[in-house]
Amino acid sequence: MSLKQRKFPALAATAVLSMGLAACGGSGSSGSGASGGGAGAPANANVPPWCGAKKITLALADGFGGNAWRQVTRAEAKDEASKCPNVTQYLYSDGQGNTQKAISDIQGFTAKGVTAMVVFPDAGKAMLPALRSAYKAGVVTVPYRVSPGGEAGKDYDYFVDTDFKQAGVLWANWLVKALKDKGNVVNLGGPAANSQSQDEYDGMMSVLKDHPGIKFIGQTPYNVTNWDPAETQKVVTGLLAKYPQIDAITTDYGNALASSFPAFQQANRKIPPIATEDANLLGCDYKKAKDSGKGFQLFTVSSQNWMSRLAVQVAVAKASGGVIPKNMTAPQLAFEDSITSKPNPVKCDTSLPADAFLSSKLTPAQQAAALKG
Amino acid sequence: MTQNTSGNGPLPAATDDATEDQSWLRRRISGPATAILAATVLLFVASAILQPESLRGSSLAGMLPFAAVLAIVAVGQTLVIQQGGIDLSVPGFMSLTVVIVTHYPAGDSGKLPVAVLGAFVIAALGGLASGLLVSRVGVTSIVVTLGMNALLYGAVLGISGGIPRSTTQALRDIATAKAVGVPMTVVLAVIITAIVGFCIKRTVVGRRFEAIGSSNQAARAIGLPVRRHQLAAYVAAALLYCTAGVLLAGVVSAPSAFQGDTYLLPSVAAVVLGGTSLLGGRGSVVASAVAALFLSQLAQVLLTSGVNSAVRNLVEAFALAVGVAIYSVDWNRVLSTLNVRERSAAGASTGA
């Protein structure tokens, strides 16, 4: 389960409700035109090494496409594919959080005869048979971010993943610095039993076991918020009532936390240091709080929208005969740090929507376009 | 043991007194608002003893606005359920409202009134469509509202692309304002519940409304305008969901585009706990609103107590099961069946 399914559980209810109607939707994969021009043009200096000589068609089969993170991520994938002129056609499909549809999308692309396919397998293992049959049919198949189980080279070509534990390690290192080795920390996570929030907690614990002064309070490994702003607000209210001393908060969905800032005001409490993923809203709220003299410390790791670029590179390289990237794990990177301003001070772009990701590799204009849908 | 299949049938003289006591008890506990009111008071007393933190000012200030929103939704759901239907389009109406009042103004408080007005117009039209399909065409409400929900979600995605926007400052100020220390949301919920409750219980239209819900055929036979009342239930419910959506957008300063999702089941739960029959007819919007407070406080106590989410779900499910059991099990029958069993067991042993 990945962070970017955060709207998925919320949607699931609706998906179930509207199943009868949605089932008629078919596999409506929306094709978007070719990205590279220059048919047969010789490789020039601008062509990246992962772009090989063979002409290919590329598809991105998204398990779910209906939130800001997915839209930005999809735009990053398309942007990356456009760097390789030998990708003659780029196709996209949105599984709409419906496993049936996601499977039929993959089957549709296979039948259509695409050369390479990048897949966000939201449903995890349920997607493995579809991936395997695409792989067996000779399509270069690269799932990313959510593990579908199975084995690279047997069920699909490569799996591009990321290590959420690493995010936890980065947060914990910052906590040690921000709290000076002592304090009570609350960890907020997604739905119960999701692996991402668990991994992040494990990552934090691997650092904090050497710093016994820093303790987790409330539920461990994490307080269940379902990545829902209203639920987060209720959970934070409860925590504030129960614990007179909260010195820091860690969470994998900063935007949801931002909506509970008024709860601190109601309880007459200061907003403690926060370690999370980057989100425009959070950055802007940070600035607002700072300007009004109620500032707090903030540390973020990148939201990794650019991870889809790596998946595209791997798929295109394998299919077109380019140089396949060696490292197939997208690194967790620090993005903003209000204490050291390294690698960046906290950012806020009021011209972009609250749910924009300033760690994206798209230009603000590209991102604004992507978020318009 | 086969003598008393009806439960209300004549019983041997020896148990007459006991039966009278039982039915008196049953009447008392199934009086619309009494049971849930007692449960709610009990819950608050238990909260004060077990988790006094959950009754602190800041904690209440966090819980009450959500309870108020749920109460308004529950009042709407009650109206539809009283007409023998069930409304599955709660999430659609609420989410669409949240999206309209946050996306259209896009932070500009000046555009807020138009957005709110637009949301109400759209909700009214949606409710009208559902109501017409149910009352005129005769499609089952579960199908109509399911379809309506899908349509509304289409609109949510069309307008927002699934991308949330922050609430405008004006809406936030209104929703978080306090009148004499009481959150505005609560004041509104109380006023709305009182008005709807008064209309249903004390006006001719309201009495007809409930009579029609009890029995369509009987109401039609005595010449009541059945269709018009059914239609009104869906329109009124849609407007109530919309009101709740506007308030929710204000309470949650950074709402998601699907913020109504979590309100469908709690709204039905509140109606059931409030003692309204799922078969239609008798019911009480006041009891539903009180049940909304009960459910919200229960969730808050459990959150504050720090039990894990599995226990939270179990306790909430248990409360619901008890609530349903109180209203839907025919306790007289259960007790009399038990009595008969005891007696026949006693008889068997003396006979042997």
Q: What is the CATH number of the domain that holds A125?
A: 3.40.50.2300
> Do A137 and A38 share a structural domain?
yes
On chain B, the residues whose CB falls within 8 A of the CB of A230 are: 66, 248, 251-252, 255, 259, 262
Residues in chain B: 352
The CA-CA-CA angle for residues B249, A278, A8, to 5°, reads 55
Q: For residue A333, give every residue at least 6 positions away whose Cβ sits within 8 Å of its Cβ, in sequence order, or none.
A: A301, A302, A343, A359
- How is residue A147 annotated by DSSP? -
pLDDT at B208 over 60: yes
> Do A153 and A168 share a structural domain?
no
Neighbours of B60 (CB within 10 A): 19
Neighbours of B51 (CB within 10 A): 21
Point out the least confidently predicted range of A232-236, A301-305, B231-235, B323-327: B323-327
Contact of A117 with A108, CB cutoff 8 Å: no
- Give the start-end residues of each E strand in A50-174: 56-62, 87-94, 116-120, 140-143, 161-162
Kindly state the tokens that stand for B132.
Answer: 């017409």
The closest alpha carbon to A143, from A311, A352, A319, belongs to: A311
Alpha-carbon distance B196 to B192, whole Å? 6
Long-range contacts, A161-164 (Cβ 8 Å, 24+): A161/A328, A161/A329, A161/A330, A162/A304, A162/A307, A162/A329, A162/A330, A162/A331, A162/A332, A163/A199, A163/A329, A163/A332, A164/A195, A164/A196, A164/A199, A164/A200, A164/A203, A164/A252, A164/A332
Residue A86 in any domain: the answer is yes
SS3 A122: coil
In this predicted model, what pLDDT tens digit does every residue of B219-275 receive, in sequence order? 999 999 999 999 999 999 999 999 999 999 999 888 888 899 889 999 999 999 998
pLDDT at B114 over 70: yes
pLDDT at A24 over 50: no
Alpha-carbon distance A143 to A124, whole Å? 10
pLDDT at A296 over 50: yes
Residue A140 in any domain: the answer is yes
Q: Do A68 and B163 touch (CB under 8 A)?
A: yes
pLDDT at B152 over 90: yes
Q: What percent of chain A has pLDDT over 90?
A: 68
**A-B contacts at Cβ under 8 angstroms:** 149
- Of A83 and A44, the structure prediction assigns the larger pLDDT to A83
Helix B204-214 and helix B184-202, axial crossing angle in degrees, nearest 10 = 80
Residue A267 in any domain: the answer is yes
In this predicted model, what pLDDT tens digit does every residue of A12-21 receive, in sequence order? 444 444 443 3
Out of A13, A241, A258, the one facing B304 most closely (by C-beta) is A241
**Closest CA–CA distance from residue B12 to any residue of chain A (Å):** 51
pLDDT at B352: 42
Residue A151: exposed, middle, or buried by beta-carbon count in 10 A (0-12, 13-18, 19+)? exposed
Contact of A331 with B143, CB cutoff 8 Å: no
The CA-CA-CA angle for residues A314, A315, A319, to 5°, reads 115
Looking up tokens 């490994």, which residue turns up? A221
Q: What's the mean pLDDT in A333-357?
A: 92
pLDDT at A74 over 50: yes
pLDDT at B23: 55
Contact of A364 with A352, CB cutoff 8 Å: yes
pTM over 0.95: no
SS3 A301: strand
Q: Taking all residues of chain A, what is their mean pLDDT, rounded to a whole number?
A: 87
| Residue B135: C-alpha distances to residues A328, B143, B226, B284, B329 (Å) | 59, 13, 8, 22, 30
pLDDT at B26: 52
Q: What percent of chain B has pLDDT over 90?
A: 55
SS3 B282: coil
- Of A24 and B281, the structure prediction assigns the larger pLDDT to B281
B347 pLDDT tier (thresholds 50, 70, 90):
low
> Do A181 and A311 share a structural domain?
no
Q: How many CA atoms lie within 13 A of A108 on its CB side?
A: 20
All structural domains of chain B, each given as residue ranges with its CATH number in brackets, are: 32-328 (1.10.3470)
From chain B residues 215-254, the ones with a CB under 8 A of any chain A CB are 248, 251-254
Q: What's the mean pLDDT in A57-78?
A: 91
Q: Is B90 on the interface with A (CB under 8 A)?
A: no
> Do A321 and A211 share a structural domain?
no
> Do A134 and A107 share a structural domain?
yes
The closest alpha carbon to A147, from A166, A168, A162, A167, belongs to: A162
Out of B63, B251, B304, the one facing A242 most closely (by C-beta) is B304
pLDDT at B132: 97
Q: Do A242 and B306 touch (CB under 8 A)?
A: yes
B19 pLDDT tier (thresholds 50, 70, 90):
low
Q: What's the mean pLDDT in B104-109?
A: 84
Q: Taking all residues of chain B, what is their mean pLDDT, rounded to a whole number?
A: 86
> Do A290 and A171 share a structural domain?
yes
Point out the least confidently predicted range of A151-165, B55-69, B111-125: B55-69
In this predicted model, what pLDDT tens digit does every residue of A184-199 receive, in sequence order? 999 999 888 788 899 9
SS3 B126: helix
Alpha-carbon distance A311 to B74, whole Å? 47
Q: What's the mean pLDDT in B158-186?
A: 86
> Do A58 and A122 share a structural domain?
yes
pLDDT at B140 over 90: yes
Q: What's the mean pLDDT in B109-136?
A: 95
Contact of A355 with A281, CB cutoff 8 Å: yes
- Give the start-end residues of each E strand in A135-291: 140-143, 161-162, 183-189, 214-217, 223-224, 248-251, 274-277
pLDDT at B10: 41
Beta bridge partners of A214: A183
The closest alpha carbon to A250, from A180, A305, A169, belongs to: A169
Residue A310 in any domain: the answer is yes
pLDDT at A262: 85
> Do A223 and A142 share a structural domain?
no
Neighbours of A46 (CB within 10 A): 8
Residue A197 in any domain: the answer is yes
User: Does ipTM come in above 0.85?
Assistant: no
Residue A141 in any domain: the answer is yes
Q: Do A68 and B164 touch (CB under 8 A)?
A: yes
pLDDT at A5 over 70: no
Residue A349 in any domain: the answer is no
Q: What's the mean pLDDT in B187-211?
A: 94
Point out the least confidently predicted range of A188-192, A209-213, A362-366, B204-208: A188-192
pLDDT at B31: 58
pLDDT at A28 over 60: no
Contact of A295 with A62, CB cutoff 8 Å: no
Q: Do A228 and B262 touch (CB under 8 A)?
A: yes
pLDDT at A30: 40
Kindly state the tokens that stand for A201.
Answer: 């907690």
**Closest CA–CA distance from residue B341 to any residue of chain A (Å):** 45
Alpha-carbon distance B117 to A222, whole Å? 41
> Do A186 and A59 share a structural domain?
no
> Do A235 and A104 share a structural domain?
no
Quote the domain boundaries for residue A143: 3-159+305-331
pLDDT at B15: 45
| Residue A62: C-alpha distances to residues A65, A292, B65 (Å) | 6, 42, 37
Q: What percent of chain B has pLDDT over 70?
A: 89
pLDDT at B101 over 60: yes
Q: What's the mean pLDDT in B70-85?
A: 96
pLDDT at A305: 94
> Do A153 and A109 share a structural domain?
yes
Of A301, A321, A341, which residue is a domain's last? A301
Q: Is A75 on the interface with B (CB under 8 A)?
A: no
Residue B158: exposed, middle, or buried by beta-carbon count in 10 A (0-12, 13-18, 19+)? exposed
Q: Is B168 on the interface with A (CB under 8 A)?
A: no
Long-range contacts, A347-350 (Cβ 8 Å, 24+): A347/A278, A347/A280, A347/A283, A348/A280, A348/A283, A348/A284, A348/A286, A348/A287, A349/A280, A349/A283, A350/A284
A344 pLDDT tier (thresholds 50, 70, 90):
very high
Residue A348 in any domain: the answer is no
Domain count across chain A: 2
> Do A295 and A174 share a structural domain?
yes
pLDDT at B6 over 90: no
